[in-house]
Copies of this chain bind each other. A is one copy, B any other.
Amino acid sequence: MSIQRYIAANSPRFLDELVDLLKIPSVSADPAYGEEVVKAAEYVKEKLIASGVDTAEICETAGFPIVYGEKIVDPAAPTILVYGHYDVQPADPLELWESPPFEPVIKKTELHPEGAIFARGSADDKGQFYMHVKAFEAMLAEGLLHCNVKFMIEGEEEVGSENLDHFVQQNQEKLKADVVLISDTSMISLEHPSVTVGLRGLAYMQVEVTGPNKDLHSGTFGGSVANPINVLCKLIASLHDEDNRITIPGFYDQVQEYDAEYRKQLNKAPFDLDEFKRKLDVEETYGEKGYSTIERVGIRPTLDVNGIWGGYIGEGAKTVLPSKAFAKISMRLVPDQDHKNIARLFEEHFLKIAPPAVKVKVVPHHGGQAAVVPTDSIGYKAAEAAIQEAFGKKAIPTREGGSIPITALFQKVLGLDPILLGFGLDTDAIHSPNEHYGVANYLKGIETIALFFKHFHQLSREA
C-alpha cells in the first residue's frame, strides 16, 4: 500500500520535523516560557502549510493562540476535526532527566527496540498530534485523501484549556465536522492495540494554610500556636478514610456504580499486576478498597496531592515554625461528577474542617469533565477497522485515568463524540522526567490515522 511506502520513504524527515518541534520549550504553565509557546504555534502553522492545507492561521485568544488549518477536498465529503495541543508540561525536576528535556535524543530501550524520542512533549502531545499532520501529508501526496480535514491545535491543554471553550463556541460553523479525532491517550501496547472509550475529569485546587503571621522560632513558640504544616497534613490526611475513600460530603453522589458483568469485562484487559509493581518498584499497590487497579484508574474518582511545600526546605536543619504551608491537590472525576460542583464541595469541606487557629484559602486552578465515548458510532468502527488493518488485531476498548477536558466540550457544543486514538504507552513517562515516545509508535500511528480516514470515508458512505 502506497501510504506505508510513503511513510517508510519519508520517516527520517517525519522524525526530524518532530525533533525540531520538541526543541521549542512551550511550557504553558510557566510565564517565563511565554514566547516559546507562541514560537511553537508558529512552527505548527508553518508545517500545516508545508504539508498542504488550503489555509492555516494563528487564532489569538485571551491566553495562548490556537492554530487552525483546513483542507476541503469536497464539501460533500465527511469532515474530520483533528484536535491536539502544542503546549507541554513543565520539565522539572530537571536533575532527574538523563538528557535535557528540550534537546531530543533517540535512544533504544527494552520496550522500544527501534528507539524512542526522549524529550518533554514527545508523547504528550507533540509527537501524537504531529502524526496527524504527517498522515495528512502522506494521504494528500498519494492522492488518498477523501475526507475533509480541519486541524485545531491549542496551546493551553496543560493549564486547563481555559480559552478553548470560548473559541469553540464562537466558531461552531468553522469547526463543523462529522467526528473529532484525538491522539492524546495511550494504548496498552503495540501487541495489544486499544482505543480509549472513557476518560476521567479533573478538579485542580491550590490550598494555603496560614498559622502565625510570620515565621517563628519553633523552640520559643512550638506547642503554643498552630503550625500550618502540621495542620495542612492533618487536613489532607482527613480527606481519605481507612478504606481510601474520599471523605468530602457529597463527593460520590454522582459516581456511577457498575454491575458485576461490566466490571468483569473491564478487568479482562491485559494487565500484569506483578509487572506493574516491578516497573514502579513498589511492594504493594494502594487505592480504594474493593476495586482492582484497572477499576481504580478507570471507573473510580481519586484525590492526589500533586505538590506540597512550606517552611525550611534547604540543606540542613532550621528550627522554624512557619507562617504558611501550601498544597496543590487534584481530583480525577468519573462521568456525571461535575468538576465545578466537586471544586465547590472540596472548598466548602476544606474550609469547614480547618481549625479556628489557622486561616485557610482555597483557589480552584482548573477543571474538566469526564467523558465516555460510545462504541457504536461510525467513528469508533472506523478506528476499530483501522487498527485491525494496521495491527492485524481487534482493538481493545479501555478506560483511561487521565483527563482531556476538551472531549466533553466537543460533545456539548459541537455534538461530536471524540475518537481517542492514542499511540502512547503508560510507560512513556508523560508529566515526568525522561518522557519519551516510541519511534515505532509514531510511525505506526501515522499509518493507522491514514487508515482511519480511509475507513471513516467508506463507512460514512455506507451509512
Binding site for B on A (CB under 8 A): 28-31, 89-90, 92-93, 96, 158-160, 186, 200, 202, 204, 206, 211-227, 229-234, 236-238, 240, 276, 280-288, 293, 296-297, 300-322, 325-328, 330, 332, 355-358, 365-366, 400-403, 426, 429-434
The reply to whether A223 and B332 contact each other, CB–CB distance below 8 Å, is yes
Given contacts A218-B332, A319-B204, A356-B283, contact A305 B314 (CB under 8 A): no
Task: Known A-B contacts: A223-B296, A305-B310, A318-B328. Give 8 more (CB < 8 A).
Answer: A222-B304, A222-B330, A222-B332, A223-B401, A224-B276, A306-B311, A317-B365, A319-B402
Residues of B within 8 A of A236 (CB): 229-230, 233-234, 237
Given A222-B332, A233-B236, verify A313-B307 contact (CB < 8 Å).
yes
Collect the chain B residues with CB atoms within 8 Å of residue A285's CB. Answer: 224-226, 357
Known: A282-B211, A312-B307, A357-B282. A319 touches B220 (CB 8 A): no
Distance in Å: Cβ of A307 to nearest Cβ of chain B: 4
Q: Which of B217, B233, B297, B357 makes the CB contact (< 8 A) with A221?
A: B297
Contact present for B319 and A224 (CB under 8 Å): no
Contact between A297 and B430, CB atoms less than 8 A apart: no
Q: Which residues of the other chain, B, contact A430 by a CB distance below 8 angstroms? A: 217, 220
Report A431 CB to chain B, min CB distance, Å: 4
CA distance A318 to B92 in the complex (A): 10
Please report the C-alpha to C-alpha distance between residue A372 and residue B332 in the assembled complex, in whole angstroms: 54
When distances are taken between beta carbons in the complex, the residues of chain B under 8 Å from A218 are: 302, 304, 306, 330, 332, 431
- CB A395 to nearest CB in B, in angstroms, measures 19
A223-B300, A305-B233 known; A355 vs B286 contact (CB < 8 Å):
yes
Bound-state CA distance A226–B312 (Å) is 25
Q: Is the CB of A308 within 8 A of B310?
A: yes
Whole-angstrom distance between the alpha carbons of A234 and B232 in the complex?
Answer: 10
Query: If the complex has contacts A214-B433, A305-B227, A332-B219, are A316 and B357 also in contact, measured as CB distance less than 8 A?
Result: no
B432 touches A214 (CB 8 A): yes
Chain B residue contacts of A286, Cβ below 8 A: 211, 224-227, 231, 355, 357-358
Question: Which one, B159, B226, B297, B301, contacts A317 given CB within 8 A?
Answer: B159
Bound together, the chains give a CA A365 to CA B316 distance in angstroms of: 8
Would B220 and A282 count as touching, CB distance under 8 A? no
Query: What's the nearest-Cβ distance from chain B to residue A330, in Å?
Result: 6
Tell me the complex Cα distance, A236–B308, Å: 13
Min Cβ gap A378→B in Å is: 28
Contact of A402 among B217, B232, B283, B297 (CB under 8 A): B217
From the candidates B30, B202, B215, B230, name the one contacting A219 in the complex (CB within 8 A): B202
In Å, the complex CA distance between A309 and B229 comes to: 10
User: What are 26 A-B interface contacts by the 8 Å CB criterion?
Assistant: A93-B215, A159-B316, A200-B219, A213-B280, A214-B280, A219-B297, A219-B401, A220-B401, A221-B297, A223-B288, A223-B332, A224-B401, A229-B308, A230-B303, A230-B305, A232-B233, A233-B233, A282-B358, A283-B356, A284-B356, A304-B321, A305-B311, A306-B312, A307-B310, A308-B311, A319-B402
Residues from chain B with Cβ under 8 Å of A204 in the complex:
317, 319
User: In this complex, what residue of B is CB-closest to A277?
Assistant: B225
A220 touches B186 (CB 8 A): yes
Q: A229-B305, A309-B313, A356-B284 are in contact. Are A297 and B431 (CB under 8 A)?
A: no
Q: Which of B221, B232, B306, B314 contacts A320 (CB 8 A)?
A: B306
